[in-house]
A and B are shown apart, each in its own frame.
Chain A
Amino acid sequence: MIPPLPGPAHAALPSTATRQTPGPAPGTSSDPPAGDDCCRLGALRKGQRAVVAGLDDSAVATPLPPGELERRMIEMGLIEGARVEILHEGFPGADPLAVRINDHTLALRRAEAHAVLVTLG
């Protein structure tokens, strides 16, 4: 049921160098630009499936040093080509998310899930 998958082109990754100063605090941030919204993991709802297309933590406010969130996400399996599915949503505010990533399940908050670019499928 789960074929081994070579990911899409790894060359087009956003490098950590493109990371800018942290955006507004999570509580106060307005939603990411509308056109962007459909293809970020943080915008998906329960039951939706997608494939990770890339990581871009430039707009996510974290106390972590630059690039660290990206590395942690990769270590937890959020990497280009990984198939994801939103299994459960927390309460209240449908946050955090329980996301199936290939063979395991990861809990993460919507704010940080916005760093994951996905293509629906």
Chain B
Amino acid sequence: MSDTVLSTPAFMGAPPRIALVGNPNCGKTALFNALTGARQKVANYPGVTVERKIGEFLSPAGTRVQLVDLPGTYSLRARSPDEEVTRDVVLGRFQHEAPPDVMVCVADATNLRLHLRLVLELKKLGRPIILALNMMDVAEARGCRVDAAALSAALGVPVVPTVAIKRTGVVGLLDQIDRSMIAMTAALPPSPGNAPDITPGTSSCGWSEPSALDLRAYHQEVEAILAAALRDAGRPSLATRRIDAALLHPAIGLPFLFLVLFLMFQAVFAWAAVPMDMIDKGLGWVQAGAGAALPDGLLKSLLTDGIIAGVGSVVIFLPQILVLFFFILMLESTGYMARAAFLLDRLMGGVGLHGRAFIPLLSSFACAVPGIMAARTIENRADRLATIMIAPLMTCSARLPVYTLIIAAFVPDRTVAGGMIGLQGLVMFTLYAAGILSALAAAFVLKRTIFKGAREPLLMELPSYRLPSPRDILLGLLERARIFLARAGTVIFAIMILLWFLGSFPAAPDGATGPAIDHSFAGMLGHALAPLLAPIGFTWQIAIALVPGMAAREVAVAALGTVYALSETGDALSGSLAGVLAADWSLPTALSLLAWFVFAPQCVSTLSVVKRETNSWFWMLVMIVYMTALAYGAAFVTFHLSSVLLGG
């Protein structure tokens, strides 16, 4: 008993914790944003990589409350890693983390029949619950009338109507939170799962997986409750039905989806160009400033060449990532993302993938890291692994600088097909297509060999279309920016310093000719690798550049520049470097390098996120081996084929 008292943190200093639980798309994140505003942050649950979204707010009575936004789920019988987190938090199975003091169940008022079953399941845990009847504005518009008092009486829990997207829509919920906390203090409720140091995996909360019979019983209970509380079920959303009649139409649906994706990629490149330019200029300015302020020497080199250049080369992708996530957030909160998965299910099924694999693969065009993280929503482990394994084959934005450099150097700037299509653009498109096609081929092979088995069923709700609220989109973008920058500031920062060290030590001996990097550890590594890479046409300079390219692909450009002992940076470097490369490399070498970059697994952050997400070194090694083999093979074929064709 004393354990229970101690671990009820509400009144012992630590703020009381409230968790938002509910089906997907019922408005949990919107409620979370309405309650906490910008006072929120994302961390990881220890041991698992599912993101843990926590925020804080002051209740009307002045209590500081901690709020957790849990991944949406239809049941505590978790099917995906995301849903497992929800289950484990709710049941208090996480070590060193007591279960929430109060659970706010969020239910879509227009769809109570489906949502109330989870509420009943949660109620059985015997912990304080508040039911937030969200989307009351939509319910009213559709003539759906719910008697909150009757519902509360039938359920035996407090019920508050909410409108998460209106400023005044959460006032009732805030008051109820205060009342529930007061009731809790008064009663100091028996919380069976509250004991600290609960070992994960035990069902210590009196919860056990419901059988099909239990589930049917829950449904009957829901029907009985609705008979008492639902005054009018209202009309189903006609707008959604009409929009779907067009957007899911066999002839219109896919072309429209591809149009959306096309616009998205245009935007990723067009909208991001100006801010990227500004970041580039700003970095150059900082670099020059630091360079001028510091005396020549190691510190200056570490700061300008190592840290500013290295982290800068990653931060520069922030605008592209934000544009991409803007689209992804819009697609998600309008409800179109589920439609995209619906439309692509058959096509993706052709190579054995789940329709939902579309989202991770799409995100991987910006960067494989968020892409691989997005694979969590795929329930089946084999499907998820297959998706993770092929995600890095999608052409991420970090490959762009490399492609741009080599294309500018070797592909003539002229048009084909009667002036309609630029040749350089065509090559770029070919490289993207090669990535996509090889990813599909890899999925096809993987699903027939390692990840064999029938496909996971689809069973996916198609939510009503909704107008996304600007606040939620903005907060979502802010969250992505924070995560991305934090990564650039930690992992990538450390790797950059390591690579700078490898590239700078030992220093070139006095009177040595050639670039200093040639004498460093990186140079030695490059020279050692050179014989291995000779059969695919790589020069020793390329071999050296590939070493720092491990940190992030785009760094290879800067490294090539260093190796060729050029002094300019950034765009100026690309401009003149292209000329040097055109003179120094044969065309087959250039093509071979392009082929290499389509496949090579050479970004450390991607590999580390694969390790985290699969929770195994094995799959990371599998990825390194299979992608390196693909890269080497593709480069080999490209080099020799083009040598023969070009008579070189």
A101 to B632, CA, bound (A): 52
* Given A13-B216, A89-B250, A108-B457, CB of A96 within 8 Å of CB of B113: no
**A12 at interface (Cβ–Cβ under 8 A)?**
no
**A59 at interface (Cβ–Cβ under 8 A)?**
no
A103 touches B462 (CB 8 A): no
* Given A16-B212, A107-B458, CB of A76 within 8 Å of CB of B74: yes
Closest to B118 in A: A75
Q: Interface 1/0s, chain B 176-217, versus A by CB < 8 A?
A: 000000000000000000000000000000000011100110
**B245 at interface (Cβ–Cβ under 8 A)?**
yes
User: Which residues of chain A are near B453, meaning CB under 8 Å?
Assistant: 63
Q: Interface 1/0s, chain A 76-92, versus B by CB < 8 A?
A: 11011000000111111
**A33 at interface (Cβ–Cβ under 8 A)?**
no
User: Which residues of chain B are near A102, meaning CB under 8 Å?
Assistant: 113-114
CB distance from B291 to the nearest CB of A (A): 57
A4 touches B235 (CB 8 A): no
* Given A75-B74, A91-B346, A96-B342, CB of A105 within 8 Å of CB of B79: no
**A117 at interface (Cβ–Cβ under 8 A)?**
no
A92 to B350, CA, bound (A): 11
CB contacts under 8 Å to A, within B105-129, are 110-114, 117
User: Which residues of chain A are near B457, meaning CB under 8 Å?
Assistant: 62, 64, 69, 72, 108-109, 112
Interface 9-mer from B54-62, B225-233, B556-564? B225-233
Could you say which of A7, A13, A112 contacts B458, with CB atoms under 8 Å apart? A112
CB distance from B404 to the nearest CB of A (A): 37
User: Which residues of chain A are near B211, meaning CB under 8 Å?
Assistant: 16, 67, 71
CB contacts under 8 Å to A, within B448-475, are 453-463
**B305 at interface (Cβ–Cβ under 8 A)?**
no
**B84 at interface (Cβ–Cβ under 8 A)?**
no
User: Which residues of chain B are near A92, meaning CB under 8 Å?
Assistant: 250, 346
CB distance from B452 to the nearest CB of A (A): 9
A104 to B226, CA, bound (A): 16
A104 to B341, CA, bound (A): 17
CB distance from A19 to the nearest CB of B (A): 11
B454 touches A25 (CB 8 A): yes
Could you say which of B77, B212, B249, B382 contacts A63, with CB atoms under 8 Å apart? B382
Count of interface residues, chain B, beta-carbon cutoff 8 Å: 55
A27 to B236, CA, bound (A): 35
A93 touches B346 (CB 8 A): yes
B253 touches A91 (CB 8 A): yes
A72 to B240, CA, bound (A): 25
CB distance from A26 to the nearest CB of B (A): 6
Q: Interface 1/0s, chain B 312-352, versus A by CB < 8 A?
A: 00000000000000000000000000100111011000000
User: Which residues of chain A are near B454, meaning CB under 8 Å?
Assistant: 22, 25-26, 61-63
**A38 at interface (Cβ–Cβ under 8 A)?**
no
B235 touches A1 (CB 8 A): yes
A103 touches B380 (CB 8 A): no
**B75 at interface (Cβ–Cβ under 8 A)?**
yes
Closest to A74 in B: B215
A96 touches B248 (CB 8 A): no
User: Which residues of chain B are near A34, meaning CB under 8 Å?
Assistant: none
User: Which residues of chain A are near B75, meaning CB under 8 Å?
Assistant: 75
A102 to B382, CA, bound (A): 33
**B147 at interface (Cβ–Cβ under 8 A)?**
no
**B219 at interface (Cβ–Cβ under 8 A)?**
yes
B248 touches A88 (CB 8 A): yes
**A73 at interface (Cβ–Cβ under 8 A)?**
yes
A105 to B338, CA, bound (A): 11
**B241 at interface (Cβ–Cβ under 8 A)?**
yes
B241 touches A71 (CB 8 A): no
A10 touches B216 (CB 8 A): yes
User: Which residues of chain B are near A43, meaning CB under 8 Å?
Assistant: none
User: Which residues of chain B are near A98, meaning CB under 8 Å?
Assistant: 244, 248, 342, 462
A90 touches B343 (CB 8 A): yes
CB distance from A105 to the nearest CB of B (A): 4
Instruction: Give the A-binding residues of B (Cβ under 8 A).
Output: 74-75, 77, 79, 110-114, 117, 210-212, 215-216, 219-220, 223, 226-227, 230, 233-236, 240-241, 244-245, 248-251, 253-254, 338, 341-343, 345-346, 355, 380, 382, 453-463
What are 20 A-B contacts defined by CB distance under 8 Å? A4-B226, A5-B223, A13-B216, A26-B455, A64-B457, A69-B457, A71-B77, A71-B212, A74-B219, A76-B114, A79-B219, A89-B250, A91-B346, A103-B236, A105-B463, A106-B459, A107-B338, A107-B341, A107-B345, A108-B459
Extra contacts, 6 of them, besides A90-B346, A96-B345, A105-B244 (Cβ < 8 A), are A69-B457, A71-B215, A72-B459, A74-B212, A79-B216, A94-B250
